[in-house]
Structure 1
Amino acid sequence: MEDGDPSRQTLTLARKFGEPRSVRIDAILPFAPDALATALAQAADELDASAVFAAGTERGNEVMARLAARMDLPFAANCIAAAPGDPVEVTRLRWGGSLLEEARLHSPRPLITVAPHTVAADDGSVPPEVDLHHPHDRDLTVRVSDHVEPSSAGVSLAAAKVIVSGGRGVGSKEGFAIIEELAALLGAAVGCSRAVTSAGWRPHTDQVGQTGTKVAPEVYIACGISGATQHMAGLKGAKRIVAINSDPQAPLMLNADYTVTGDLKEIVPAISAEIRKRR
C-alpha cells in the first residue's frame, strides 16, 4: 500500500498467501481512510482475496482498522510473521515491541499489517495495481484538509541516516543547543524523547518512539535518554545505537551498541570539538 521499505516488507509476507495485487495508500487524494477502506473492501470481494495486508504505519493501521470494522473481521496489527492456514498463525509485536505474541487468526479473510523494519524486504516484481471505484461523498467526511510544514528545517527524522536525540537529561530547551550543534556537524536530524516534548522543549515532530516517529537510521546517538519502552519501540530499525548517559544502568545504555558514561554537557561538546579538529 505504501512506497518504500515498509511496503516491500509487507510483500514478503503477502506472497505466502498467493499472487498479490496492490492498492497505493495515495490512490485516493487527499488521504481519506474511510474511502480507502471502502475501496479495499470492494476490491477484496471482487478479487476474492485470500487475505489483505498493509504496512504497519500510522496510515496503514488506520485504514485496516476501518476495513476490519466494515467487513466485521478480526485484524492483526504489527505482525512480524504470518503463516497461511486455517487458522492463520501470526507473530506480532506487543507492548511497544517489548514482547512477541504468537496468535491464531480465525477469519475467512485475514487482515494483517506488518510492523516496519522487522521483515526482510521483498525484491520481486511490483504487483499490478487494482482499479478502484470512485469514492462516495459519505466516505470523504474524514480526510486530510491541510498540511502544516514542520517548524524546524533540515533532515527529517524518518529519512535521516544519522539522528542525534536528547532526553530529559539535556536539562532544558536551551540545553538542546549542543545537540543541534553535533547534529549539524554530522548532517543529522535532531530527535528527542516524549519527556522532552511533554516539557515543551521540542515540538512533537521531533519525538522518537511509539507515539512519535519510528526511525531506522544507520546511527542513533541518544543523549540523556533513559530508554523507556515506548522510546525503544521507535528505535527497532536503528542499525547502531550510541548512548551517552550518567547512569550506566539506564535501559538504553544496556541495549546500546556503544556507550559513554558521564555528563552529556561535557561529552557532546567534546565530540563536536573533535569532529571540527579532524576537518
Structure 2
Amino acid sequence: MILGLVEHESGVPEETSLEALTMARELAAGEETELGAVVFGEEGGALEGELGPYGVEEIYHVTHDRLDGYAPAAWGESITQLVSELGVSTVAAPGTDRGHEVLAHAGAALDAPMATDCIAVDVVDEGETYELRRHRWGGSLVEHARLEGETKLVTAAEHEYPIEEAASTTEPTVSEFTPSLDDAHLRVRVERVETADEEGIPLGEARVVVGGGRGVGGPEDYDKLEELADLLGGTVGASRAAINEGWRPHDDQIGLTGAQISPDIYIACGISGAVQHMVGCKGADTILAINTDSEAAIVQKADYAVIGDLHEVVPELTEAIRETT
C-alpha cells in the first residue's frame, strides 16, 4: 500500500495534499498496489467524499483521546504504527512544514530513508527503488537520486504536481485507528490557534498577487500596488529587500523565508528576481514583470514583461483595467 498524509481544514483537503495524492497515485499505479490516506482531526472521518475522486481506496482516521490538535511526534508515531500494521511500502506527504516534520519523526522511528521536495518519482525494480528528481538549495538546483528501502518516505514539492482526479472515482472506506501514545509523543503540540489581525486575502490563497520590491521606493508608494490588487481582487506581497527596509510587514514576504504563492497571475513590480524570491513564486501560473532593467533575473524568467518605471506603468495599467470593467 501507498499511504498519503492528507492535511485538511475543517474537512476540506489542502491543495498541497491533493498535489501529493497525485504523486502517491502514480506510485501506487507503478507498484500495482492500492492507495490509502491517513487523516487526523475530528473532521477527518468525513473525507471520503472529498478523497474518492482522487483514487483513495481506504482512509485511516487517527483518533486518540489525547490527540486533539497537531502534535508532530504523535502524528509521526501514528504513521509509524500504521506502516507496521498495514505493511505500507511508501508514505507520501505534501512538501509543507508539517508534512516534512511528521515524516521526519516517522523516518527516525522506522529507520527509513526520506526524500523531500520531489518533483518527479519513477518506480523501478518493481518498487524496490525509486529514481527521483527533487529540489535542493531552495529550488536553485535539481538533484537526481535513487531511493531504496523497505519503507520509503517522500514529500511532493509544493505546486509542482498538478491536482488531478483519478480516471474513476472510488468509494473509500473509513477505518478508525487509535495509536498507542505516551507522554513523550505529546511533549510538543498545538494548544491554541490565534487568528492574525491582517485583513484581506492571505498570500497563499490569493489568485492574483501584486508584489513590490526595492524598486517601489518606499512604503507610501505601495498605495499604487494596493489599488491595482484591489481592482483585480487580489493581494499585495513584497520581496525580502522591501521587508528588510521596513516597508511592509513580514507576513507579506514572498520567498524562501516567506510565503510560497501559487496565483493565477503574479505581477512583480520593481523586483530583481533573486533565487530566494523565485522559490516563493514558482507556483504562479503566469508572471508579469514590471522593471526598468531588461536584464533583471525576474524579467528573464517571466512570461511577460513591461520594461518601464513601475510608478508610471502601474497607474496606467490600473486605469486601463478600470476602463474595461
Q: Same fold (TM over 0.5)?
A: yes
Aligned partner of 2:93 in structure 1 is 54
Q: Does 1:23 align with 2:7?
A: no
> Once the 2 structures are TM-superposed, how far is the Cα of residue 256 of structure 1 from its aligned partner?
0.7
Q: Match for residue 193 of structure 1?
A: 239
**Counterpart of 1:182?**
228
Q: 1:51 to 1:152 in 2, by over 3 A?
A: same
Q: 2:279 aligns with which of 206, 229, 233?
A: 233
Q: Please give the alpha-carbon distance, in whole angstroms, between the structure 2 residues aligned to 1:8 and 1:203.
A: 30
Equivalent-residue separation in structure 2 for 1:199 and 1:151 (angstroms): 22
Look up the SS of the partner of 1:22 in the other structure: strand
What SS does structure 1 have at the residue aligned with 2:289? strand
Mark the CA change 1:29 to 1:249 in structure 2 (over 3 Å): closer, same or farther. Answer: farther
How far the C-alpha of 1:127 sits from its partner, in A, is 5.2
Q: Take 2:40 and 2:237, find their aligned partners in 1: how far apart are those partners?
A: 26
Worse-matched range after superposition: 216-225 or 175-184: 175-184
1:265 maps to 2:304? no
Q: 1:181 to 1:76 in 2, by over 3 A?
A: same
Structure 2 residue corresponding to 1:38, chosen from 66, 77, 99? 77
Q: Aligned partners of 2:194, 2:237: CA distance in 1, in Å?
A: 19
27-36 or 172-181: which moved more? Answer: 27-36
CA distance in 2, matches of 1:59, 1:14: 17
Amino acid at match of 1:63: V
Q: C-alpha separation between the residues in 2 aligned to 1:92 and 1:130? A: 33
**Cα separation, partners in 2 of 1:148 and 1:170, compared to 1, 3 Å:** farther
Instruction: Flag the 1:107–1:233 CA change in 2: closer, same or farther, 3 A.
Output: same
Higher strand share: 2
1:161 aligns with 2:207: yes
Q: Which residue of 2 aligns with 1:133?
A: 178
Shift of 1:126: 7.1
Q: CA shift at 1:153, angstroms?
A: 0.8
2:117 is aligned, of 60, 73, 78, to 78
Q: What's the counterpart of residue 16 of structure 2?
A: 6
Distance in 1, matches of 2:23 and 2:320, equals 45
Task: State the superposition RMSD in angstroms.
Answer: 1.9
Q: Point out the more displaced range, 224-233 or 94-103.
A: 94-103
Closer, same or farther: CA 76–242 of 1 in aligned 2, 3 Å: same
Cα distance in 2, alignment partners of residues 126 and 241 from structure 1: 39
Residue pair 1:20, 1:127 contacting (<8 A) in 2 also: no
For residue 204 of structure 1, report the CA deviation from its aligned partner. Answer: 2.0
SS in 1 for 2:38: coil
**Segments ≥4 residues shifted beyond 4 Å:** 25-28, 126-130
- The count of corresponding residues between Structure 1 and Structure 2 is 279
**Pairing partner for 1:253 from 292, 299, 303:** 299
Given the superposition, is the C-alpha separation of residues 36 and 130 from structure 1 closer, same or farther in structure 2, using an over 3 Å criterion? Answer: farther
Partner of 2:47: none
Residue by residue, what CA displacement relative to the aligned partner does 1:51-108 show, whole Å, maximum 9, x if unpaired? 1110111211111122212222221000112223333211111222232211011221
Seq. identity, %: 44
User: Which residue identity does 1:138 align to in structure 2?
Assistant: A
Write the deviation string for residues 241-279 of structure 1: whole angstroms up to 9, x where unpaired. 100111111111111111111211222122222333334
How big is the shift at 1:40?
0.5
**Can you give the 5+ residue segments of structure 2 that lack an aligned partner in the other structure?**
1-5, 8-12, 42-61
* Bigger mean CA offset, 92-101 vs 227-236: 92-101
Distance 1:163 1:228, change over 3 A: same
Residue 129 and residue 216 in structure 1: after superposition, are their counterparts in 2 closer, same or farther (change >3 A)? farther
Distance 1:140 1:190 in 2: 38
Q: 1:83 to 1:127 in 2, by over 3 A?
A: farther
SS in structure 1 at match of 2:35: coil
Letter in 2 for 1:70: A
